[in-house]
Structure 1
Amino acid sequence: MIVQRVHPDAVTLMSVIHACSSLSSFQHARFVHGLIVRSFFRNQLELQTALVDLYVKCGSLVYARKVFDKMKERNIISWSTMISGYGMHGFAGEALKLFDQMKALVKPDHITFLSVLSACSHCGFIEEGWECFNSMNRDFKVIPRPEHYACMVDLLGRAGKLNDALDFIQRMPILPDAGVWGALLGACRIHSNTELAEVAAKHLFELDAENPGRYVLMSNIYASSGKQKHADEIRDLMKLRGVRKTAGHTVIEIKNKVYTFVAGDKSHHQSDLIYSELEKVMNRIRVEGYKPDLKFVLHNVEEEMKEKMLYVHSEKLAIVFGLLNSGPETVIRIKKNLRVCGDCHTAIKFISKVTGREIVMRDSYRFHHFKAGTCSCGDYW
């Protein structure tokens, strides 16, 4: 359009913003931001709110907040988007501060409360989460929906209060849906509670039978607890029902071009260089104290093979590619379509330490900001 000198309007830019959000493309976000700043559209509020959301999804809260602070007017969506952004990135304190500012100006709705509850869940703010949940109907006449109940189950479950989470489900005034049972199953994985996981999985295999993630999670829970026979049975059930596992991949953007990696990927033209550098990086972090966590390899193979399988996870390959192809001060931004595994999370902390690089990862659950050997999630994820 631009080459042919057709000037984009607000609708065009909203479509482009949506595309950039899907890719988590920070460089494209900056380009679109420039176009909006140089243009004078009537619906600046909608575009600026979309920009805030775009920067959040591209891993830059700094730019998101800059756009938010410069907005001449804000609506409930604008406030909720920024609050949700802080929650996704693990900054529940900032989310709650902004929520307090919002309440003085705008009445929150069910989306706002979902953003705040999610923020509390990601950071283990149990008291604040309860207060937020209880205030919905009491103070603002907002009736909790299934997703709010799911957030509360997630909040309690992540904190290790699994029995409280189950009791909460049993006392719900509405029928628990797949989101509620899914939150419990996820918490059972974190805390290795096979018994409760079986309860949650039973409901999920009926309510959400086509979702491969439910089967994979239950199979992994069995495998990590040494119940390989049960894990295989879940995999067989998937095949019987024709449910296919989602393949994991990691995306990275370098010089306005997007690259995708899968585990053990050797299709890239720099594969030899990537694997050579990967070996050097893994040796460096081993010296710093990294030890591969073999429990995240759920295949029944020798330990040496398990280590090799961990080394070539897509996250590690994408990061090494980023190290090779960007300047020493550049933030490395990657996006994983599934939840980052525990071993990769530990390894990336060490990589950020030995390379001095900041690494921002967006996975299917939240954002992780790795810097100088630590992660913004505080290992609570």
Structure 2
Amino acid sequence: MVTTNEQRKEHWIRRYRTTLIIGFFLLIFFIAYIKPWPYMLYGAGSAEPVHSRVETGHKLEEKGALLFTTVSTYSNPNIFSIIYARINPRMEVKSQEEATSGATNINAYRNLLAWMRDSSEANALLAAYTAMKKPIDVKEQGVIVYALLPESKARDNGLQEGDIITNIDGKEARTVKVLTDYLTTKKPGDKVKVSGTRGDNKFEATVPLINMGTGTSSRTGIGFQNDTVLKVTAPDPVKFDFADTGGPSAGLMMTLEIIAQLTNDDLTRGFRIAGTGTISADGTVGQIGGINYKLMAADKEKADYFLVPYDPKNPSNWTLAEKTVKDLKLSPKLVKVSTLQEALDFLKKLEFKA
């Protein structure tokens, strides 16, 4: 009996069929495991003492702890991580575009977050020294590109979110007012050359101007939301260690820690006080994102209280915080704070924990 090549091939396939099937599925699994997807995963982050991250040159022994809270984020996950996050009630999946609010690219978004963190530190110093009625030195450093408007042509011509503009057409422009005043001398369609810093690097971009607003409020501009970058120098040797974080939401807790150390007053009163919220120079506490995940982190670290940013006109943070505590049966007691003074009043009225 003669065995043909086709018969030998068929025999080989039958003999190794199981191995081939397993190998095929392993290959598919490997490809799925290494392939990144343009999504961002959100979950509970950390609740850490802010005490070790703020130095003022003044020693203070805290019986409890002021805890700043974070959200855990994971970009470009694989399909398995996405599926897990979809079915996990304590996680969330967002497209990268939604998560970054349409930022030009992920590096631009990270530069913006880094500026938010630095700005939060500056505002924490301003708010703390204002509350203590102490003088502090402030200098303008540039104009941050906070968000590019949809009608702006700047993105297509090299400007990104997170860029800090320091010069325009060769002239120094370190405040929003100086930049705006110069642009009012131009007309839509004109081009200006802006330069400054992009993260750790320098940048230049030539961008066309557009007409912004209507009627009497019409003006010429680049088309972006902006803010003045401040360099704040305290009379005390205050140092921050938040390089591994991004965003502005630790502002309130930073400010409380500065005041506690410089006034030698243990504001914790022996409790574990977690919280979140942006801080303005005037002491206004602003709302933040991901408060549900921050509450989960605070609960895991056995926080007694959680300071929640509260805006009576839009109490979204408070509403979500109440829902999260109820649905997940979390232990921290919620405290509304609209201003730094309200947070201080609450903490100073606490009796020391036995």
Instruction: Point out which structure has higher relative CO (alpha carbons under 8 A, 6+ apart).
Output: 2
Decide: shared fold, TM above 0.5: no
Instruction: Sort the TM-score into its range (normalised by shorter chain).
Output: under 0.3
Return the TM-score normalized by structure 1.
Answer: 0.21
> Looking at CA atoms only, which structure, 1 or 2, has the larger radius of gyration?
2
More strand by share: 2
Return the TM-score normalized by structure 2.
Answer: 0.22
